[in-house]
Amino acid sequence: DSLSLGLSWYFAKISDKQPSKTFTYGYKRFSLLAALINGIVLLVGSLLILSEAVPRLIHPEHSNAKGMFIFAVFGILVNGLAIWRLKNGKTMNERVVTWHLLEDVLGWIAVLIVSIVMMFKDVHILDPILSVLITMYILWNVVKNLKKTVLLFLQGVPEEVSILTVENELQKLDNVRKVHHTHIWSQDGEHNILTTHIIPDQNLTWPEIDSLKTRIRLRLKDLGIDHATIEIERES
């Protein structure tokens, strides 16, 4: 758990590094890799928790209420602080890490509630019931995030972008006759990359083509694409 958190912290740190000769796009995909690893760790972790909690639904055990209470308060403080620091995170990795921490916090809150109840009353069944409910909730979110991460990893078009909309918007620009062969993918869920072919009106001068490219890039920025490669072609 903390190993994968450390790993994502390290990858997040790397992902801000400037492009190099080996990683010409920069290191943003490291944060996606971290999101993938984290997602898998969370998936396995949730399944393990479930496999422990479910049998305890049938055979509840006696637990130490006071110790649980102290651990819970400590856990909530530590994880709550970390979540608060990440709350504006937008990359896939930050989102996954936030879920990671949220899982822990919710778990600790459950432990806290159970421990308080058990200080007054010995109801063993509460502990596994809460564990199972919270883990199911987390699992659902982890799977959702993991699906997104895998899509980005396999260079699918990111969910927030539609290739048809992008092509239509470019088509609407002055001097654009045809748009085709468009690729869109995302480095980390935040930095999107496009390549496309444009056939402009005939007889444009070089300065006009330059200004067209600038207008295309500006329009693309509005559509959430910050790195575009545009091939200008003549109608064949």
Interaction site with Zn ion (CB under 5 A): 181, 197
Q: Please identify the residue of the shown chain whose CB is closest to the bound Zn ion.
A: 197
At CA 20, angle to CA 15 and CA 21, rounded to 5? 145
Q: From the CB of 217, what's the least distance to Zn ion, in Å?
A: 12
Q: From the CB of 24, what's the least distance to Zn ion, in Å?
A: 8
Q: From the CB of 25, what's the least distance to Zn ion, in Å?
A: 8
Q: What share of the chain is helix, strand, coil (3-state, %, to 5)?
A: 65, 10, 25
Q: From the CB of 18, what's the least distance to Zn ion, in Å?
A: 13
Query: Of 109, 178, 160, 168, which is closest to residue 137 (Cα–Cα)?
Result: 109
Question: Residue 134, CB half-sphere, CA atoms under 13 Å: how many?
Answer: 21
Strands 192-200 and 225-232: parallel
Q: Left (φ > 0), alpha (ψ -120 to 50) or beta: where does 183 sit?
A: beta
Which CB atom, from 172 or from 181, has the smaller least distance to Zn ion? 181
